A and B are shown apart, each in its own frame.
Chain A
Amino acid sequence: ETGVTQTPRHLVMGMTNKKSLKCEQHLGHNAMYWYKQSAKKPLELMFVYSLEERVENNSVPSRFSPECPNSSHLFLHLHTLQPEDSALYLCASSQGSRDYEQYFGPGTRLTVT
């Protein structure tokens, strides 16, 4: 596979469930990102990992927990979510100083019931 892949593409979960989103990049990039996109709103940066270390955490609630085991994989662990967390979750990667050129996966559409 090429580019950035995300699984699952769709997820429905109850507020008491625990689930994980997975992202994998095949581009040899050294930075990875999680974004949230709610309807009609701008993309919101959630987490940034550079060289497998978290460098940004934009005041995201602790019910979202990221994990970056290596430079190719990124996870978002979800626990006790709220209905307002329903959104499209996008993963992206970039390389070096051109971090403004980000390559996105297709996203996971999350619905919290």
Chain B
Amino acid sequence: DQQVKQNSPSLSVQEGRISILNCDYTNSMFDYFLWYKKYPAEGPTFLISISSIKDKNEDGRFTVFLNKSAKHLSLHIVPSQPGDSAVYFCAARFSYQLIWGAGTKLIIKP
């Protein structure tokens, strides 16, 4: 029973356009939600977080939106750049633990 789900295994976006990555969760006790990025042969890298009491957090080209009623969060990347091609993981914190989604592979086309 996956508590954090990323339903799109992959996403292809034109360079310069907006990339939107989605994540759904089931546990209303999560207090922080995170996005991590992973390149091949490297470990995941922390990208951005949002507290459960917020609905938006922005950091440069990256914005995370949280819809608690729908138990849904999304990551917007604007504009998308070739270096953004990677696997993106959504994760949520409960107590000591991060619960992870399976990842979405983002491909930025030139």
A42-50, A59-67, A70-78, A79-87: which lies at the interface: A42-50
Task: Say yes or no: B41 contacts A106, CB within 8 Å.
Answer: yes
Assess whether A100 is in contact with B4, with CB atoms less than 8 Å apart.
no
B81 within 8 A of A: no
- A49 CB, nearest partner CB in chain B, Å: 10
**Cβ 8 A contact of A100, one of B2, B9, B32, B102:** B32
Total interface residues in chain A, CB < 8 Å: 23
Residue of B nearest to A42 (CB): B100
Between A and B, 16 residue pairs with Cβ closer than 8 Å are: A4-B43, A41-B102, A42-B2, A44-B100, A45-B98, A48-B97, A56-B96, A56-B97, A90-B44, A99-B93, A99-B96, A102-B98, A104-B43, A106-B41, A106-B43, A107-B43
Interface residue ranges, A against B (CB under 8 Å): 4, 40-45, 48, 50, 55-56, 58, 90, 92, 99-107
Of the candidates A4, A42, A107, the one whose C-beta lies within 8 Å of that of B102 is A42
Closest B residue to A48 by beta carbon equals B96
| Of B2, B34, B45, the contact of A104 (CB 8 Å cutoff) | B45
**B59 on the A face (CB < 8 A):** no
Cα of A56 to Cα of B99 in the assembled complex, Å:
13
* Distance to closest chain A CB from B51 (angstroms): 10
CB contacts (< 8 Å) of A103 on chain B: these are: 46
**Does B25 sit within 8 A of A, measured CB to CB?**
no
Given contacts A100-B49, A101-B49, contact A43 B100 (CB under 8 A): yes
A93 to chain B minimum Cβ distance, whole angstroms, is 11
Are A45 and B102 within 8 A (Cβ)? Answer: no
Interface string of B2-14 (1 = CB under 8 A from A): 1010000100000
In this complex, what residue of B is CB-closest to A91? Answer: B43
CB-CB < 8 A to A90: which residues of B?
A: 43-44
